[in-house]
């Protein structure tokens, strides 16, 4: 039986092989490999697709977060509010600027930043060190951005959206990545737009800040060999940029296929005891992950793995419980419970209908014995 993977970058390559091979060959024969015409074109195409002022390609999604915060002047002594059910990258980037992360709990349904809790926290703490908020559009669904922008606007905070899992996600018809002053994207191979290596971008409506990011990604050079700012090397190379142009042209079709599979899961699993993804009104979910919840998460994951169905857990341990960022005094009940219960079912555009049916069948076999008994996991 073939193995069903949670994500499948190789399938993404095979689906676009002729175009990707042609793009690679074009770059190889151009003689131009770093910061060239392919990246220029990708930045223009990507920002046009989002409907925002511009995009700056960088080396990866983590750098995108860090450089965006640095461009906005975030640094030592500042605090940045985010959530603890995210990949370490979000927090690692905040800490790398010298700022301190502050965690707010999530909504139990969508598992996204609870903006009401954010509002209460800001009003209670009244901490002038809090300078920025990093909402994470987790799993493919965006945070309630109209309310978040209203709240952060009242407190005069900088907003940097983490869009690594939200390529094409809409809130009220407006793309994730176009709400905050800046936004970060990752093109890690498993993301909805994936490179075949590392890549990322900063987008946004603040053109002055974008220009600053553009300098920071290459040593702060405005003029070659003369640094206006302290920067670094965080360049996105021409091979990845050329490949990303191919992937960008395929994103709408890919997201449509993801939606088809998600709809199938939602219908086919509705009579199981699994808690299915909560869809917020007025937002489109782009299904980077299809995340179900159950207190029998580990048992279900093991059962499926035995059947060659590989599921991910995003994320098994909240950031404030990880050794590097441990904070024993902090309690985030909804975050902690989510991390204990979440399981990502396989979902990527390369999945066939029969693969999806097999996943559903194996879940049902474990969780819904007809006579009310549960089938032993072993």
Q: Establish if 165 lies at the interface with ligand PLP (CB under 6 A).
A: yes
Q: Establish if 188 lies at the interface with ligand PLP (CB under 6 A).
A: yes
User: DSSP letter at 303?
Assistant: H
Among 52, 82, 86, 294, binds ligand PLP (CB under 6 A): 86
Burial category of 1 from C-beta neighbours within 10 Å (exposed 0-12, middle 13-18, buried 19 and up): exposed
Return all residues near 55 (Cβ < 8 A) that are at least 6 apart. Answer: 42, 43, 44, 46, 47, 201, 202, 203, 210
Q: How far is the CB of 353 from ligand PLP (least distance, A)?
A: 27
DSSP-based helix, strand, coil % in the chain, nearest 5: 40, 15, 40
Residue 262 and residue 347 in contact, taking contact as beta carbons nearer than 8 Å: yes
Q: Establish if 60 lies at the interface with ligand PLP (CB under 6 A).
A: yes
Q: Tell me whether residue 58 or residue 215 sits nearer to ligand PLP (CB atom).
A: 58
Among 90, 169, 218, 240, binds ligand PLP (CB under 6 A): 90
Q: Tell me whether residue 287 or residue 358 sits nearer to ligand PLP (CB atom).
A: 287
Q: How far is the CB of 216 from ligand PLP (least distance, A)?
A: 16
Among 200, 312, 318, 350, binds ligand PLP (CB under 6 A): 200
Select from 126-134, 158-166, 226-234, 296-304 the region that touches ligand PLP (CB under 6 A): 158-166
Q: What is the CA radius of gyration of the chain?
A: 21
Among 118, 164, 236, 292, binds ligand PLP (CB under 6 A): 164
Q: Establish if 160 lies at the interface with ligand PLP (CB under 6 A).
A: no
Residue 247: enclosing H or E segment and its boundaries?
A: helix 238-249
Q: How far is the CB of 309 from ligand PLP (least distance, A)?
A: 22
Residue 113 and residue 87 in contact, taking contact as beta carbons nearer than 8 Å: no
Binding mask 103-142 for ligand PLP (x = CB under 6 A): ---------------------------------x------
Q: Establish if 335 lies at the interface with ligand PLP (CB under 6 A).
A: no
The 3-state DSSP class for residue 22 equals helix
Q: What angle do CA 314, 316, 320 make, to 5 degrees?
A: 110
Cα gap 141→167, rounded to integer Å: 10
Q: Tell me whether residue 296 or residue 321 sits nearer to ligand PLP (CB atom).
A: 321
Select from 58-66, 228-236, 253-261, 352-360 the region that touches ligand PLP (CB under 6 A): 58-66
Among 23, 72, 81, 89, binds ligand PLP (CB under 6 A): 89
**Buried residues in 247-286 as b, exposed as e (16+ CB within 10 A):** bbebbeebbebbbebbebbeebbeebebbbbeebeebbbb
Among 47, 52, 62, 289, binds ligand PLP (CB under 6 A): 62
Q: How far is the CB of 160 from ligand PLP (least distance, A)?
A: 11
Per the document, the length of the chain is: 378
Nearest Cα neighbor of 134 from 198, 197, 62 is: 62
Select from 34-42, 54-62, 223-231, 343-351 the region that touches ligand PLP (CB under 6 A): 54-62
HSE, CB side, 13 Å, CA atoms: give it for residue 296. 17
User: DSSP letter at 168?
Assistant: T
Among 61, 168, 177, 231, binds ligand PLP (CB under 6 A): 61
Residues near ligand PLP, by CB under 6 A = 60-62, 86-87, 89-90, 136, 162, 164-165, 186, 188, 198, 200
């Amino acid at each position: 039986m073939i193995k069903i993977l949670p994500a499948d970058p190789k399938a993404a390559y095979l689906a676009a092989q002729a175009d990707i091979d042609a793009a690679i060959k074009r770059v190889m024969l151009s003689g131009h490999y770093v910061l060239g015409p392919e990246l220029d074109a990708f930045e223009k195409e990507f920002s046009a697709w989002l409907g925002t002022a511009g995009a700056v390609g960088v080396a990866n999604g983590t750098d995108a977060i860090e450089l965006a915060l640095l461009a906005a002047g975030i640094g030592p002594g500042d605090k940045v509010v985010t959530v603890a059910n995210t990949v370490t990258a979000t927090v690692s980037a905040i800490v790398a600027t010298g700022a301190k992360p502050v965690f707010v709990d999530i909504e139990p349904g969508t598992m996204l930043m609870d903006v009401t809790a954010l509002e209460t926290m800001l009003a209670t703490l009244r901490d002038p060190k809090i300078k920025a908020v990093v909402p994470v559009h987790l799993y493919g669904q965006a945070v309630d951005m109209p309310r978040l922008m209203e709240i952060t606007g009242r407190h005069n905070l900088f907003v940097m959206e983490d869009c690594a899992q939200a390529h094409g996600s809409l809130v009220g018809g407006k793309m994730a990545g176009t709400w905050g002053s800046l936004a970060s994207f990752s093109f890690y191979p498993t993301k909805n737009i994936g490179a075949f290596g590392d890549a990322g971008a900063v987008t946004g409506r603040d053109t002055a800040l974008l220009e600053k990011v553009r300098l920071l990604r290459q040593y702060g050079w405005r003029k070659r060999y003369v640094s206006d700012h302290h920067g670094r090397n965080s360049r996105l190379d021409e091979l990845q940029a050329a490949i990303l142009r191919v992937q960008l042209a395929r994103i709408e079709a890919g997201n449509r296929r993801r939606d088809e599979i998600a709809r199938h899961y939602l219908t086919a699993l509705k009579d199981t005891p699994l808690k299915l993804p909560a869809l917020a009104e007025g937002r489109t979910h782009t299904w980077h992950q299809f995340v179900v919840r159950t207190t029998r998460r580990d048992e279900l994951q093991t059962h499926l793995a035995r059947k060659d169905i590989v599921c991910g857990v995003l994320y098994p341990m909240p950031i404030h419980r990880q050794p590097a960022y441990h904070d024993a005094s902090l309690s985030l009940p909804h975050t902690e419970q989510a991390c204990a219960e979440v399981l990502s079912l396989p979902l990527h555009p390369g999945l066939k209908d029969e693969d999806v049916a097999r996943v559903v069948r194996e879940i049902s076999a474990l969780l819904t014995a007809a006579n009310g008994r549960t089938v032993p996991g072993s």
